[in-house]
Structure 1
Amino acid sequence: MLKDLVTRCRSFRRFHEDVKISTEELKELVDLARLTPSTANSQALKFRLCNTPEETEKVFDTLGWAGALPDWDGPEKGERPSAYIIILCDLSLGKNKLHDDGIVAQTIMLGAVEKGYGGCMLGNVQRSRLAEALQIDTEKYSIDLVLALGKPKEEVVLVPVKEDGDVRYYRDENQVHYVPKRRLEDLIV
Structure 2
Amino acid sequence: MIRDLIIRNRSYRRFDSAVKLTDEQISKWIDLARMAASGRNMQPLKYALVTSPETCEKIFPFLGWAGYLSNWKGPAEGEHPVAYVVVLNDHGISDNHYCDDGIAMQSILLGAVEDGFGGCIIGSVNKSKVAKILQLDETLEILWLVALGKPAEKVVLETAENDIKYWRDEEQVHHVPKRPLEEIIVKLKS
Question: Hey, which bits of structure 1, 4+ residues long, moved more than 4 A?
Answer: none
- Would you say 1:75 and 2:72 are equivalent positions? no
Matched position secondary structure for 2:99? helix
| 1:84 partner letter | Y
Does the C-alpha gap of structure 1 residues 96 and 69 become closer, same or farther in structure 2, counting only changes over 3 Å? farther
CA contact (8 A) 2:39 2:98 kept: no
Q: In the alignment, which residue of structure 2 is the partner of 1:121?
A: 121
Which whole-Å CA distance do the structure 1 matches of 2:63 and 2:96 have between them? 21
| % identical equivalent positions | 50
- Would you say 1:41 and 2:41 are equivalent positions? yes
Q: In the alignment, which residue of structure 2 is the partner of 1:170?
A: 167
Deviations 1:143-174 (A, max 9, x none): 00100000000000001102xx2100000011
Matched position secondary structure for 1:16? coil
Which whole-Å CA distance do the structure 2 matches of 1:38 and 1:62 have between them? 29
Matched position secondary structure for 2:46? strand
Matched position secondary structure for 1:61? helix
Q: How does 1:90-101 map to 2 (within 5 A)?
A: 90-101=90-101
Identify unmatched segments of 5+ residues in structure 1: none
Identify unmatched segments of 5+ residues in structure 2: none
Q: How many residues align?
A: 186
Does the C-alpha gap of structure 1 residues 120 and 98 become closer, same or farther in structure 2, counting only changes over 3 Å? farther
Q: In the alignment, which residue of structure 2 is the partner of 1:17?
A: 17
| 2:175 partner letter | Y
Matched position secondary structure for 1:15? coil
Q: In the alignment, which residue of structure 1 is the partner of 2:154?
A: 155
Does the C-alpha gap of structure 1 residues 27 and 171 become closer, same or farther in structure 2, counting only changes over 3 Å? same
CA displacement at 1:95 relative to structure 2: 2.1
